[in-house]
Amino acid sequence: MSAEQNIIWLTYGPITDIAAQYYQTTDYWIGNFLAALGGIMYIPCMFISSWLTSRFGLRRTIQFGGLLLAAAGTLRLLGTISWVLVGQTVNAALGPIVMASPPRLSVEYFPPQERNTATALGFSVQALGVCVAFLWGPNAVHAEEDVPAFVLTQAAMAASTGLLVALTMPSPPERAPSASAAVERPGLLAGMRILMARPPFVALTLVWGTTLGLFVGWFALLPQLIGEYFSPAEIGWIGFASNLAGLVGGIAVGLLADGLQNCVPPGWPLHKVLVVALFSLTALCDVAFLLCVYVFGHSFWWVTLAASMMGFFLNATSPLVLEMAAEYTYPVSEETSAGVLTLMLNSVMLGLTLVGTSISTTVLTVTMLVAIVGGMFVASSIPHQSHRADAETDKGLPASGAKEDPEHGDTQDMLFAKDRTEAR
């Protein structure tokens, strides 16, 4: 569902010129504004999504998201630019659900030793949708008459995916996989107050949201930024390669973090160390991209390699940051903390997509480099906190509900199951 939501979001970006002619509108409206809708709708819908989750539970919220996806793809079949706008708006309303739910999903459905991987899969799979969008559009749409069939195919995919999620989304396990999964969390407003009162989380939000927001907006505008050097098909391959690398990077680092967390001393800031290292590598790749475009004759292969490495390293920070935020802000719901993080990301992306084409590729890329380097230093200075992990081991509570309490046998498991039932 997450991947398909991103395919719908970027339907028209890689084919801006042809789509603008077909719908009889301007490149700005079909390219910039429709991309900016993701950020515009995210701001109010993030709070609605968090409220839905606290009121009806994560499973029902995700099922509702599946219905939104099916509706978004179908509405665009009505053919006019007005209905395209409606469909893209509905799809954008789904954004907070697919972007903010992965860390909460990992807590409710997976034990602690699998959380990083689960969060990485849930969040990074968005890059798969961007990959498909960049590659599919330029290779499927060569003229105006290709647009209806292209939109119809996407509608069929969105409807089938959305309905499948709505009908088959499983319930969380009866026995909570960890102590924190069974704990009742503060409501939305109380949670927001806690978030704003924790400086490490605020600093993390500013660093990661700004950096990722610039990167996502930069890639959404890539066809317009480097169109003078490369054909639409070549830009499609550059976007595909970078986002595929981002998908692989996010999952690989999630697996790495899960594998290392039992090998490092308790209390060691594993996530922070990895994030700082990944920011450093991303900065080097950003410099390489600039050199490839302006110094080495904008070779397609070198630009693709540099963009891919940027995607690999920067997207790999996402699951780590989401898990860091959950540790910093516990007992606030993981979806609320992730929602604020991604709200910052989408706000920066929104500003960039609205004004990005009036700024040169060099200025945008250098700005992103400055944000990455600055973020690296700020992230390294954020004090390490592990409120959730500490709560799960406090007074001997096991990190996983599957372990028995040495004095009370299965009593602890029964308590987790009871708390899970009451939380629903």
- The CATH number assigned to the domain holding 161 equals 1.20.1250.20
pLDDT at 394: 62
Query: Are the C-beta atoms of residues 162 and 312 closer than 8 Å to each other?
Result: no
Q: DSSP letter at 382?
A: S
For 237, phi then psi, to 5°, come to -70, -35
Which residue stretches of 295-333 are H helix?
Answer: 300-315, 317-329
Query: Are the C-beta atoms of residues 143 and 248 closer than 8 Å to each other?
Result: no
pLDDT at 408: 38
24 sits in the region (left: phi over 0; alpha: psi -120 to 50; else beta) called left
pTM: 0.77
CA pair distance 255, 171, nearest whole angstrom = 25
For the beta carbon of residue 381, count every other beta carbon within 10 angstroms.
10
The SS3 call for residue 27 is: helix
Number of domains in the chain: 1
Maximum alpha-carbon separation in the chain: 73
Residues 6+ apart with CB under 8 A from 278: 253, 313, 314, 316, 317, 320
Residues 6+ apart with CB under 8 A from 39: 346, 347, 349, 350, 351, 353
CA pair distance 158, 145, nearest whole angstrom = 21
For 331, phi then psi, to 5°, come to -95, 15
CA pair distance 410, 412, nearest whole angstrom = 5
CA pair distance 242, 248, nearest whole angstrom = 10
The percent helix, strand, coil of the chain (3-state, each to 5) is: 80, 0, 20
Query: Are the C-beta atoms of residues 201 and 325 closer than 8 Å to each other?
Result: yes
For the beta carbon of residue 180, count every other beta carbon within 10 angstroms.
23
- The range of the structural domain enclosing residue 412 comes to 2-423
Residue of 219, 258, 229 lying closest to 352 (CA atoms): 219
pLDDT at 163: 95
pLDDT at 415: 38
Find the length of the chain: 424
Q: What pLDDT tens digit does each residue of the chain (424 aa) get?
A: 999 999 998 888 888 889 999 999 888 788 778 877 887 888 888 889 888 888 888 899 999 999 999 999 999 999 889 999 999 999 999 988 998 888 888 888 988 888 888 888 888 888 888 888 878 888 898 898 999 999 999 999 999 999 999 999 999 888 888 777 777 888 778 888 888 888 999 999 998 888 888 887 777 677 767 777 788 778 878 888 888 898 899 889 888 888 887 787 777 888 889 999 999 999 998 888 888 877 777 788 988 999 899 989 988 998 889 888 888 888 888 888 888 888 888 888 877 777 766 677 677 778 888 888 888 888 888 888 888 877 777 644 444 333 334 333 343 343 344 344 444 4
